[in-house]
C-alpha cells in the first residue's frame, strides 16, 4: 500500500494490485493481515460476505464473529486460543488473512492496540437518528469508534458508510485513504468525496459501481446480488457495498467479488437472526433480532416490499431495547394491521404495556394475541399461517426459532398432499378480540 492517513488531501489513494502485494507491503510495515469490521448492525454479515469473496478467490482465511472463530471455514472450539493460532498462521503464511468483528462495548471496555489494523470497515452507527445519538449505548459506541480509528494503521484504509454522518462525517475530508459507500452518490458527503477523486462504492441505475467519479467499474446488477433482494433490502445493499470496499482495499480482483455476490445469502447456521428468509407453507418468514426503532425501520421497509397480503409479527422480550423506546417500537411493528403474536417468557408486564400502547397508536391497529413463550408463539403462528403471509419475527433465540421453522418445512415436505394451509382445530386468530381497538388518549 503506497498511501495512508499522512497523504496530502490532493494525492490519490492507490489500491494494492493484489492480495499478495498487500501482504508484502504489510510485512514491510510489520502489520498483521487482519481486516476489522465494526458497526451497530450488519458487521457479522459483512465479515461473512467478505470471507465468501476471499474464498471465491481461493484464499485461506480465518474469521472471528459473535458466532465464534472459523479457520478455513471450520468452526473452532473456544475463541481466544483458536484466534491466537489463526494469527500465528497468518504470520507464517499458512493463512492469507483474517477478518475480525469488533463489538462497540468490548472495544470501549478493553480498548485496542494502536495502529494494529491495516483495513477497517464501519457499517453504521446511528442511521442519522438524533434519538440514537443521545442514547448511552451510542455515547459508548462513539468512544469506541474513536478507539477503532486510532487502531487503524497510519498507512491503512477505512471503508465507511457515507450515508451515516456519525460514521463518515466530520473527519472524513481529512482522510484521503477512506473509501465511502452509499446508496446514492448525490449524498453531499459522498459527492464532495468523489469531487476530490477519492474512492467510493455506490448504486446507480440499479448497478453496483466502484471507483472514482470519472473512472468507475460497474460490477453487477442489484437483481443479481442475492443478499439484496433485488435491491429492495436497503440495509443489506449497504452491507454489500462495505464488503466490496473492503475486498478492494486488500487487493481482491472484481471477478471473485462478483462471483460471491451472486450466491451469498445469510445462512442460518452462521448468521442466525440476520434477516434470514425461510419459505414455510407458501408464506415468507423472516427471522431477525430485536433492534432499536431507528434501525427497525430499515428491515420493516424491506419486509413491506415482499409479496404477501397479510403482515404477521412475532415479538417477545425485545432484549436490548430500552423501556423508553418500546412505544415507538410497538408503533412501527403495528403499522399495516394484520396480526401480532406477543410472548413474554419473563412476565415483564410494564414493558408489554408500553409495547401495546405503541401498537394501539396506529390508525388501523393489528390483531394482538398473547402467548406464554417463544415456543408457544411459534406453535400459534404455524397453526394460522397462510400461503400469502409475510411474517417478521424478532426472535429472543434466533437459532431455536430457525430450527423450529426448518422442522416445519421438513414435515410439510414429507406430506404428499400437503398443499393446503388448513389448520385443523387450531385457534382462528383472525377474529381475536385481543387487539387494542382504539388509539390511546
Residues 30, 128 within the same domain: yes
Residues 187, 308 within the same domain: no
Residues 223, 306 within the same domain: no
Q: How many domains does the chain have?
A: 2
Residues 244, 308 within the same domain: no
Last residue of one domain, picked from the residues 263, 297, 330:
263
Residue 441 lies in a domain: no
Last residue of one domain, picked from the residues 232, 263, 294:
263
Q: How far apart are CA 194 and CA 334, in angstroms?
A: 40
Residues 253, 322 within the same domain: no
- Residue 137 is predicted with a pLDDT of 87
Residues 197, 287 within the same domain: no
Residues 169, 314 within the same domain: no
- Residue 169 is predicted with a pLDDT of 77
Residues 424, 400 within the same domain: yes
The per-residue DSSP string of 363-391 comes to SSPPEEEEESSHHHHHHHHHHH--TTEEE
* Residue 356 clears pLDDT 90, i.e. is over it: yes
Residues 243, 312 within the same domain: no
Last residue of one domain, picked from the residues 241, 263, 285:
263
pTM (global) more than 0.75: yes
Residue 5 lies in a domain: no
Instruction: Name all contacts of 181-185 with Cβ < 8 Å and 24+ positions apart.
Output: 181/238, 181/241, 181/242, 181/244, 181/245, 182/241, 183/234, 183/237, 183/238, 183/241
Helix (H, G, I), strand (E, B) or coil at 219: strand
> How do residues 38-87 score in pLDDT, each as one tens digit?
999 999 999 999 999 999 999 999 999 999 999 999 999 999 999 999 99
Q: How far apart are CA 183 and CA 206, in angstroms?
A: 10
Residue 182 lies in a domain: yes
CA–CA distance from 383 to each of 75, 280, 281, 380, 396 (Å)? Answer: 36, 12, 11, 5, 20
Range of the domain at 384: 276-431
Higher per-residue confidence, 340 vs 426: 340
CATH classification of the domain holding 286: 3.90.190.20
- Residue 179 parent element (H or E): strand 178-182
> How do residues 154-170 score in pLDDT, each as one tens digit?
999 999 999 998 898 76
> How do residues 79-134 score in pLDDT, each as one tens digit?
999 999 999 999 999 999 999 999 999 999 999 999 999 999 999 999 888 889 88
Grid cell 465494526 in the structure block, residue: 38
Residues 183, 137 within the same domain: yes
- Residue 439 is predicted with a pLDDT of 38
The grid cell for 197 is: 477523486
Amino acid at each position: 500500500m503506497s498511501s495512508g492517513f499522512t497523504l496530502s488531501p490532493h494525492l490519490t489513494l492507490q489500491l494494492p494490485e493484489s492480495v499478495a502485494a498487500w501482504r508484502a507491503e504489510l510485512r514491510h510495515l510489520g502489520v498483521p493481515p487482519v481486516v476489522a469490521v465494526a458497526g451497530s448492525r450488519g458487521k457479522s454479515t459483512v465479515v461473512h460476505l467478505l470471507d465468501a469473496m476471499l474464498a471465491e478467490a481461493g484464499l485461506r482465511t480465518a474469521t472471528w464473529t459473535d458466532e465464534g472463530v472459523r479457520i478455513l471455514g471450520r468452526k473452532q472450539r473456544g475463541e481466544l486460543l483458536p484466534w491466537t493460532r489463526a494469527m500465528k498462521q497468518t504470520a507464517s503464511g499458512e493463512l492469507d488473512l483474517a477478518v475480525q468483528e469488533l463489538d462497540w462495548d468490548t472495544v470501549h471496555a478493553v480498548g485496542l492496540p494502536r495502529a494494529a489494523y491495516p483495513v477497517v470497515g464501519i457499517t453504521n452507527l446511528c442511521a442519522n437518528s438524533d434519538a440514537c445519538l443521545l442514547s448511552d449505548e451510542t455515547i459508548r459506541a462513539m468512544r469506541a469508534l474513536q478507539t477503532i480509528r486510532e487502531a487503524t494503521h497510519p498507512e491503512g484504509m477505512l471503508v465507511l458508510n457515507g450515508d451515516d454522518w456519525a460514521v463518515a462525517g466530520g473527519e472524513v475530508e481529512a482522510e484521503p485513504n477512506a473509501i465511502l459507500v452509499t446508496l446514492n452518490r448525490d449524498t453531499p458527503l459522498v459527492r464532495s468525496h468523489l469531487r476530490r477523486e477519492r474512492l467510493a462504492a455506490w448504486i446507480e441505475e440499479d448497478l453496483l459501481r466502484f471507483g472514482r467519479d470519472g473512472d468507475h467499474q460497474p460490477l453487477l446488477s442489484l437483481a443479481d446480488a442475492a443478499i439484496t433482494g433485488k435491491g429492495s433490502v436497503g440495509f443489506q445493499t449497504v452491507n454489500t457495498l462495505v464488503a466490496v470496499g473492503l475486498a478492494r482495499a486488500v487487493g481482491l480482483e472484481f471477478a471473485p467479488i462478483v462471483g460471491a455476490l451472486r450466491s451469498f445469502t445469510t445462512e442460518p447456521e452462521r448468521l442466525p437472526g440476520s434477516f434470514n428468509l425461510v419459505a414455510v407453507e407458501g408464506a415468507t418468514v423472516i427471522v431477525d433480532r430485536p433492534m432499536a426503532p431507528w434501525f427497525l425501520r430499515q428491515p420493516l421497509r424491506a419486509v413491506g416490499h415482499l409479496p404477501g397480503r397479510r403482515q404477521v409479527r412475532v415479538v417477545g422480550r425485545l432484549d436490548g431495547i430500552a423501556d423508553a423506546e418500546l412505544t415507538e417500537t410497538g408503533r412501527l411493528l403495528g403499522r399495516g394491521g394484520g396480526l401480532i403474536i406477543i410472548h413474554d417468557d419473563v412476565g415483564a408486564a410494564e414493558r408489554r404495556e408500553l409495547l401495546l400502547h405503541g401498537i394501539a397508536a396506529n390508525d388501523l391497529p393489528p390483531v394482538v394475541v398473547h402467548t406464554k413463550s417463544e415456543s408457544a408463539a411459534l406453535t400459534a403462528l404455524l397453526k394460522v399461517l397462510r400461503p400469502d403471509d409475510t411474517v417478521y419475527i424478532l426472535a429472543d433465540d434466533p437459532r431455536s426459532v430457525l430450527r423450529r421453522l426448518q422442522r416445519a418445512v421438513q414435515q410439510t415436505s414429507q406430506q404428499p398432499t400437503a398443499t393446503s394451509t388448513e389448520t385443523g382445530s387450531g385457534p382462528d386468530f383472525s377474529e381475536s378480540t385481543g387487539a387494542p381497538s382504539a388509539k390511546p388518549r
